[in-house]
Amino acid sequence: MAGSALGLPVAVPSTALFTDRYELTMLQAALRSGAAHRRSVFEVFTRRLPEGRRYGVVAGTGRVLDAIENFRFDDDVLSFLSRENVVDRDTLDWLAGYRFRGDVHGYPEGEVYFPGSPLLRVEGTFAEGVLLETVILSILNHDSAVAAAASRMAVAAGGRPLIEMGARRTHELGAVAAARAAYVGGFTTTSDLAAGFRYHIPTVGTSAHAFTLLHDTERDAFTAQVESLGPGTTLLVDTYDLTEAVRTAVEVAGPGLGAVRIDSGDLLLLAHRVRQQLDDLGATDTKIVVTSDLDEYAIASLAAAPVDAYGVGTSLVTGSGHPTCSMVYKLVARAADGTDGRPDAPLVPVAKKSLGAKASTGGRKWAARRLDADGVAEAEVVGTGPVPEELAGRQLLVPLIERGEVVAREPLDAARRRHIAARAGLPLSATQLSRGEPVIPTEFV
């Protein structure tokens, strides 16, 4: 399609070109050899969590389903591939009719994961599955990194609201995806209107320093804002003198002023001073919102401060130092020789062998989370054979696409609630911000 639901321009007319060239050259060679139609199983997993992280968060699943549905080679795309001599005519003819008709299973969005967790399993022909590698990894790596950072910040905030406000710190379309992932991870609102429009995330925002600087006096700026937005608005009080601004804000809006925002300085010290000043002025219900390059550690340091909400930008949309999850997409099983094209062909496990850290485990996998006697997770169990009876009811992969049809679309709030429940089911040490190993081990059986 030529643009998004918002009419925002994108660089290419469909998700089919959100891929690497070698996906198509592999397809061409496989079509020539006859192996392209061999039944195959691809899996997404990560060999390790980012350094110091105790758990990962699955995010972007809904966007993956949209991307697979929109993976179409229309005339403009095919003309580009032909003009650039990417693939030959026979491959172009095959691509013209491409539709993913296989099955996809995966961890539901919002679930937590660990090293080796088979987060997504794509089954179909080799040709169908190999083309989806890059777009799937692009979405899952980005969104899961943001959601993991958001989850840590939500833990640090201890139930206080979190505002996503990182749109100006990343690509304009990436900002929309980041706001979505942050909401899954625990943020409550976003400043990005595109994210609000597309994903129905609540939006917030009032004014910046420019609005105060525009007016002759701070009082004029506050008066204009209150007259326009009402006394329940949030006034930015650190443009000039903080103490004087808080006094003026209450004089203009009255004791029913909704909130004040502090965007600079020693936030711990200033929050205490402002709270005392607001209380002394009778504005006991006025909230304090803090912003200014926050991350999970800064939020945690404000746990004892009288702060009512946090606004986070740069650190959130960049994964708080870990902008990717290092997820990979690997062929783990394919049909045995002589069974090419049979959808029920028996599978042979395959895996890369490496002397370094890139070795993988072959075979079509299942995953389950084993709980202790108190119902707390104690291990991520991954296997390729029969599922042990005691784990049958704890399996993590669910159907997402069946025979090319999406079967698992859900409201974003469902993923958000799922994450809260999944995180609550982990050992308490999962919420520690100190560096450590994954909070539960992954056991391969």
How remote is the C-alpha of 34 from its chain's centroid? Answer: 38
Q: Which residues on neighbouring strands pair with residue 203, listed in sequence order?
A: 190
Whole-angstrom CA distances from 399 to 68, 122, 123, 334 are 15, 10, 11, 20
For the beta carbon of residue 429, count every other beta carbon within 10 angstroms.
Answer: 12
Q: Are 142 and 60 in contact (CB under 8 A)?
A: yes
The contacts of residue 159 (CB under 8 Å, 6+ apart) are none
Residue with the two structure tokens 């506050």: 222
CA 429/CA 436 separation, integer angstroms: 9
- The SS3 of residue 57 is strand
Sheet containing 366-371, strands listed edge to edge, beginning at the edge strand earlier in sequence: 366-371, 377-383, 442-444
Q: What sections of 191-241 are H helices per DSSP?
A: 193-199, 209-214, 218-229
Whole-angstrom CA distances from 130 to 16, 25, 43, 329, 435 are 12, 11, 11, 9, 36
* Angle at 298 (CA atoms; ends 293, 301), nearest 5 degrees: 155
Q: Are 235 and 43 in contact (CB under 8 A)?
A: no
Run of H or E including 327 = strand 327-335
- The SS3 of residue 203 is strand
Q: Which residues on neighbouring strands pair with residue 248, listed in sequence order?
A: none
CA 321/CA 187 separation, integer angstroms: 18
**Residue pLDDT tens, the chain, 445 long:** 334 444 544 444 589 999 999 999 999 999 999 999 999 999 999 999 999 899 999 999 999 999 999 999 999 999 999 999 999 999 999 999 999 999 999 999 999 999 999 999 999 999 999 999 999 999 999 999 999 999 999 999 999 999 999 999 999 999 999 999 999 999 999 999 999 999 999 999 999 999 999 999 999 999 999 999 999 999 999 999 999 999 999 999 999 999 999 999 999 999 999 999 999 999 999 999 999 999 999 999 999 999 999 999 999 999 999 999 999 999 999 998 766 567 778 899 999 887 666 778 899 999 999 999 999 999 999 999 899 999 999 999 999 999 999 999 999 999 999 999 999 999 999 999 988 899 999 999 9
